[in-house]
Amino acid sequence: MKRVLFLIFILSSLVFADTEFAEPKPSIDNPRKFVFPITKWDRKEVNHILSSVNNVMKFYGPENTEVVIVAYAQGINTLLKRRDSHIRKRVESLMTYDVEFIACGNTMRTLKIDKKDLLDDVEVVTAGIVELIERQLQGYIYIRP
Amino acid sequence: MKRVLFLIFILSSLVFADTEFAEPKPSIDNPRKFVFPITKWDRKEVNHILSSVNNVMKFYGPENTEVVIVAYAQGINTLLKRRDSHIRKRVESLMTYDVEFIACGNTMRTLKIDKKDLLDDVEVVTAGIVELIERQLQGYIYIRP
Amino acid sequence: MKRVLFLIFILSSLVFADTEFAEPKPSIDNPRKFVFPITKWDRKEVNHILSSVNNVMKFYGPENTEVVIVAYAQGINTLLKRRDSHIRKRVESLMTYDVEFIACGNTMRTLKIDKKDLLDDVEVVTAGIVELIERQLQGYIYIRP
């Protein structure tokens, strides 16, 4: 198996002049930190964002990443227990890799969503946008996938 | 009144494990600085952006924030005198809190918009996107709400 | 010609209180570096992004900028040989100014796109989103136009 993976690695490095790492290189001690917003309830877009998270973690290795997803406005539907069972499964699977999911309290008040409507382990903050801001100031890279 | 606010504060801190502040904490001397783009003329989206600005200022306190909004492409409609009286009122209300509104000169030329069509106190720059770039280099956090 | 340009400069500085440059000011030694994503195949939006790149380069001068465009998801259509001849011409024209165009390998696999379907001089990386992240860590400003 290891040999096959190595072969794939060699082959893919022949095809791609790949992304150059910035310093310090990603490692357990220097994980890459990202914060992604989900702001719309468009299943295709939500799935695209979750796939992007997957791609990022596959590329760096889950142990070398810290991923935070902040859901607000209609994007909060992503974190509801009863909305879309496929998306729910993907979210729960990412949670097992320590991806943090955060819901916007302002949005919850506006859309009359209760904490118990959210998936277990979702954190709630007062304002999703504030979370995006403070995470950036803490060195997280903000990407809208 | 102060006591009620304090009670609300205590209650909400029981419900939320809230956003952790990055260092230095927001203050009058170290205000949080943001730059938000408005690029589309979709009333719902524009209202959402203006609400986000509101939420941010309410959270940090207006005295601890510096907010810049750059309107370009169809988003420039947000800053026109005669377009949407509700949005106009919201923009003017934010201006009283020293939120800066900036219009893109390239867009104005393309869409044949004159400075006198814009709300008073709107600044005009050559290129909205350049403003977004330079503000980031000056320490403003860029968020697309 | 120089005199006319100077006159235009003076006139425009009368009209606009223009964007203030962050330090260090843009120059050949300190070029402004940007990374723009293209994620959707909406001709209007793609043209808008390419125009934004144009505006940025016109403003700073091409010699004072380093622009990278990363295409992924449906945005990769921007970089196909046979899709839209007008957009193709714009991309090729920007390439003559050393704008880098990068395609996402994950997207290519998903959409069954081969390297030979892409315009010449397009680079391919494993994951477009990783490129966006690493470029930011290398000091590129990320803007979604």
Contacts of B59 (CB under 8 A, 6+ apart): A126, A127, A130
Maximum alpha-carbon separation in chain B = 54
Phi, psi of C110 (to 5 degrees): -65, -45
Measured over the CA atoms of residue A68, residue A69, residue A73 and residue A78, the dihedral's sign is negative
**pTM > 0.90: yes or no:** no
What is the DSSP code (8-state) at residue B66? E
Q: How far apart are the first and last CA of chain A?
A: 32
Task: Express each pLDDT in C39-57 by its tens digit.
Answer: 999 999 999 999 999 999 9
Q: How far is A16 from chain B, CA to nearest CA, in Å?
A: 30
Residues B73/B74/B78/B80 CA torsion (nearest 10 deg): 90
> Which residues 121-140 on chain B approach chain C with CB closer than 8 angstroms?
123-127, 129-138
**Arithmetic mean of pLDDT, B24-30:** 95
Q: Which residues make beta-bridge pairs with B142?
A: B35
- A19 touching C (Cβ < 8 Å): yes
Q: How far is A122 from chain C, CA to nearest CA, in Å?
A: 25
Task: Inspect the interface and report whether the beta carbons of B129 and C141 lie closer than 8 Å.
Answer: no
pLDDT at B9 over 90: no
**Arithmetic mean of pLDDT, B84-94:** 98
CA A95 from centroid of its chain's CA atoms: 9
Cα gap A39→A75, rounded to integer Å: 4
Task: Express each pLDDT in A61-82 by its tens digit.
Answer: 999 999 999 999 999 999 999 9
CA angle C105, C107, C109 (to 5 degrees): 70
Cα gap C93→A94, rounded to integer Å: 42
CA C67 from centroid of its chain's CA atoms: 5
Residue of B nearest to A106 (CA): B55
Q: What is the pLDDT of residue C13?
A: 47
**Arithmetic mean of pLDDT, B72-78:** 97
Burial track C7-32 (b if 16+ CB lie within 10 A, e otherwise) = eeeeeeeeeeebbeebeeebeeeebb
Q: What is the pLDDT of residue B18?
A: 87
Task: Express each pLDDT in A15-27 by its tens digit.
Answer: 556 899 999 999 9
Cα gap A94→B133, rounded to integer Å: 33
